[in-house]
Each structure stands twice: as C-alpha cells, then as structure tokens.
Structure 1
Amino acid sequence: MIVSVADVMNLLNVAGITAMEYFGFVTPRWKDSMSYVTDADLAVQHLIVEWLNHHYPDDGIIAEEEDLRKEPSTGSRYWSIDPIDGTAAFVGGLPIWGTGLALMEDYEPIAAFFSAPVTRDQYWALKGEGAYRGEQRLSVRPPSSLHRESVLLSYSKLHRQNILSSKYPGKVRSLGSTIAHLCYAAAGNCDATLLTRVSLWDVAPGLLMLRESGGELWYVNGGQVSLKDMLTCRAPALMIGGHPEMVRSFDALLSVD
C-alpha cells in the first residue's frame, strides 16, 4: 500500500477535532492573496506538518499557509496540505469545509484524503485502487441529457462573469469548498463541477478522487489538468470536472476569453 489509509484518517480526525475547537469562535485575517486565514488554519497545518515530518521524513511538503515548501530529501514525493479548505464557510459557521491532503509523485497524485468534520464525511483514494467515502466506493454520475434538475457545483464568483450560457437548463450550487465539490462530483452527487483561480492544494486531492471514480478534470479551453501548472501560481484557466461525457456537454455551454 502507498500509505496507511487508517493512519492518515486518524490524523485527519485529530485535525478535525482541532479545527472544531475554533469553529464559531474565530476572527479571520486577510492574506496578501485577498482570502481569509485563521488561527485554525495555522494550528491544523502545524499539526499535519509535524506528523508528516515524523512519519514520512524524506517526503517534501507543499502547504497553503505561510507559503510553506519543504523539498524531499530523496525521490520526488510531496504532500500537499490544505488545512481548512472553505475558510470563508468555516468563518461563517457553515458546514461545508474540511482538511485536504494529497501525496504526489512527480506531481501526480497517488493518494488523496479529505475530511469534513461537521458532516462527518471522510473521502480517500489510492491510485489504481479506487475512491471511497468511508468504505463506499465512489462512481461519478452517469451521463444524461441536461435538464432542469441537473446540478452544476461552481465557484462562488460565477454570477459576476458571463461564462455559463443561459441555455443551461439546470441548477447551480456553490457550497464553499473546492475539494468538497470535487469529492461530490466523484461520488455522483452532481453532474459536474466548475473551478477557477485554484491552487495545487485545492486540486490535488479531488483530482485523484475524480480519476479513480471514472471522471476527469479538464481545462475549459482544452487539455487535461496538470498539477505542474500550479507549482508557482494559481491554475491558468477555468476547469470542469465530472464524467467525461458530461464534461463535454457542459464545455459546450461555457465561454472563456
């Protein structure tokens, strides 16, 4: 096995307990990137970094907060850490947020984990072994014609951009966490998910979840998503994820400059 799923999930349980100690009691601060950071983000990240340094000392680390990057002492394995994905939801007392981890080799995800303490959902995936919510194997929603009950999960600024055609007959939802959106797409809870201005730690866990559940993540302007595109900056283009046929259906309804 690539890593011990049980050990990592135990770590995320502890991380969730730590985050819940702050839930409803935090005052956010602004980062240079104009997004929130809280003491909970920093506490959870510190906990995970300490654990990884003890259990996987040779692996590198790329973490969201404080621009943390540690190079591997041998090989090309890195862990990506998003201590609280959905910080705005966390600050607002909303339930959809969680901690995301991914193990990458040559910047390809080979193990992925996401734990949402409020909803008590735990997702994980291993390359070649499937994606799971708990013990339930995940599969993307089968393709179908778009209709009024179709569901697209989207980033929160979609309403400010003229991207989605008015011909789309279905519903749009923004729940607060990029990794959660990708996990929900992997689990077949929506038809597709739309992402923009995301970083490596936002994408790495959910990318493997999608791949292992029969889905894919593509740039709307063409081409499969590569984590190498996000090593030094945010993703260069809009992304759409889901069943390959549904990705193509939505792609026809999206326009980007």
Structure 2
Amino acid sequence: MARYADDLALAHLLADTADTISVARFRALDLHVSTKPDLTPVSDADTAVEKALRGTLSRARPRDAVLGEEYGATAASGSSRRRWVIDPIDGTKNYVRGVPVWATLIALLDGDEPVVGLVSAPALGRRWWAATGLGAYAGRHRTAATQIHVSGVSQLSDASFCYSSLTGWEEIGRLDAMLDIMRHAWRSRAYGDFYGYMLLAEGALDVMVEPELSLWDLAALIPIVTEAGGTFTDLAGRPGPYGGSAIATNGKLHDAIYRRLGVDPGTQTS
C-alpha cells in the first residue's frame, strides 16, 4: 500500500520548489509573457518552474523519464518504465492576468498508469494529492491535510456541473448536448483548468468535463479523483490520461453524462 509513498513525498518537495518560484513572479510588473506556436501564452515563471523541477528530478530520480509542457520529453535510463509529467503552471492565462486560480501539476506514471498526482495552488493556499492505494488528501500542506471524497449525488437534477468553456464543445459538435446537461443540472459553473477536478474530488461539485486536453493537463488529476472515489475517463469511455479529453464524475453520474453527451454507456471500460 505504501509503494509510492516516497514518490509522493518527492512530489511535495517539487511542489514546494514550484510554489516558491511561481508565487514570487505572480503579478510581477516585469513578468515576461510570450506566445507559443499553438497560440497559448507562456511566462518566464512557467519555464523557471519546469527547469527547477527537472533539475531536482535529475538528481533524485535519474533513471526516470520526464515530460513537461515547456521542454518536452527526456528519456528514461535503462529499463525504467516510470515517467514524471509536469505542467509547471496550469492556468497560465489566469496567472498572467493576476487571477489566483492556477497550479503546478506533478504526476508519476508507472508504465501507462498515473500512480501519483499532486496539484499545488499556492495563491489559493491549497494543495491536493494522492497515490495509488493511499487515498486522496487536501490542505495547505501535507502536515495540515484531510482525506477527501467525492459526493454521493446520484441525480443530475441535484448535481453541480462544471466545465472549462463552451467553445471546444461547439468545435466537436456537442454544444447542444452540453447545453442540455446545463439545463437539467441543479447548477452549472465554468471553473476551468485543474480547479473543477479538485472540487469534484472534494465533493463540492459532481461532474467536470473538458473536450481537449494534453497529457500534462490530465496525468496529475486522475489519481486524485479516482482515489477520492470518482470515475475518470475520456469521451470514448476509456480510462487513463491518453484520450485527450475528460469526463470526471463522482461515479454515480457517469452513465447519465455519457448518455447526454451522445456516448453509449455500454462502451465504457471502467
């Protein structure tokens, strides 16, 4: 049960480093922001955080592979099947505008399975983490934390439904389905990025969906949601972080969301 405890402890140390760098640059008047080829912003804080975490991992886990949003992939040494996945600042658009909803995402994959996940949002004063078999927790720090669980809501009419934005759903032809869910849910809000998934894991909301995501957006979220008792798949019903999309629920609402998004619940694999 404690197989990944040391890796989770390392993830906390990495997050401490990330928090120090990102908080110091948050709302800085000289923050440098540029545009990547995919037209998304990147700040000097994004690159500084990732460089620092890669440096620590090269010393603490030299055999493991690393994948980061800003600097790509570094291969594993020898026969290691382990890979750390880093999003130095998830919510960069918030970060550069001074909105405090942003976080560093740190994950460890053992083979294809995310086994450690940590999300640190220092401007919110909160951190979430989990490892396979160890449960999911949240608090200001690991020494001041409580175990978290998803909600028990079983009807969409009682559910708080969360999403990132509507434009992506329009692009894939499912905007009408999204609007239908919003009409039938008790409440709908667009918290976006990591935050909706963490509120789901805490039981504060019941569904979070996104149509387009990268591996570094997803990998850290999955252990936290699933260890909190939730269900996490892509739009095709496949578990894991490789589908490029996400439907995360408290488990009780998964079939209902699939049906309304036009996915046959019989195709689920988890």
**Fold match by TM threshold 0.5:** yes
Would you say the 8 A contact 1:153–1:175 is kept in 2? Answer: yes
Would you say the 8 A contact 2:150–2:250 is kept in 1? Answer: yes
Is 1:153 equivalent to 2:167 in the alignment? Answer: no
The corresponding residue for 1:193 is 208
The corresponding residue for 2:17 is 14
Mark the CA change 1:83 to 1:192 in structure 2 (over 3 Å): closer, same or farther.
same
For residue 51 of structure 1, give the secondary structure of its aligned residue in structure 2: helix
Would you say the 8 A contact 1:83–1:100 is kept in 2? Answer: yes
1:145 Cα deviation after fit: 1.9
TM, length-normalised to structure 2? 0.84
Is 1:55 equivalent to 2:60 in the alignment? Answer: yes
Q: Give 1:194's aligned amino acid.
A: V
The corresponding residue for 2:267 is none
Would you say the 8 A contact 1:42–1:83 is kept in 2? Answer: yes
The corresponding residue for 1:144 is 154
The corresponding residue for 2:256 is 249
Q: Which moved more, 1:190-199 or 1:163-172?
A: 163-172
For residue 49 of structure 2, give the secondary structure of its aligned residue in structure 1: helix
Mark the CA change 1:158 to 1:171 in structure 2 (over 3 Å): closer, same or farther.
farther
1:216 Cα deviation after fit: 1.0
Aligned length: 245
Structure 2 unaligned runs (5+)? 140-144, 264-270
Report the Cα distance in structure 1 between the residues aligned to 2:106 and 2:81, rounded to whole angstroms: 17
Is 1:226 equivalent to 2:240 in the alignment? Answer: yes
Report the Cα distance in structure 2 between the residues aligned to 1:29 and 1:84, rounded to whole angstroms: 14
Is 1:181 equivalent to 2:196 in the alignment? Answer: yes
1:158 Cα deviation after fit: 4.6
Q: Give 1:22's aligned amino acid.
A: R
For residue 12 of structure 2, give the secondary structure of its aligned residue in structure 1: helix
1:204 Cα deviation after fit: 0.6
RMSD over aligned CA atoms reads 2.0
Report the Cα distance in structure 1 between the residues aligned to 2:32 and 2:188, rounded to whole angstroms: 30
User: Relative to total residues, which structure has the larger helix share, 1 or 2?
Assistant: 2
Would you say the 8 A contact 2:159–2:207 is kept in 1? Answer: no
1:227 Cα deviation after fit: 2.8
The corresponding residue for 2:50 is 45
For residue 252 of structure 1, give the secondary structure of its aligned residue in structure 2: helix
Is 1:111 equivalent to 2:127 in the alignment? Answer: no
Is 1:72 equivalent to 2:76 in the alignment? Answer: yes
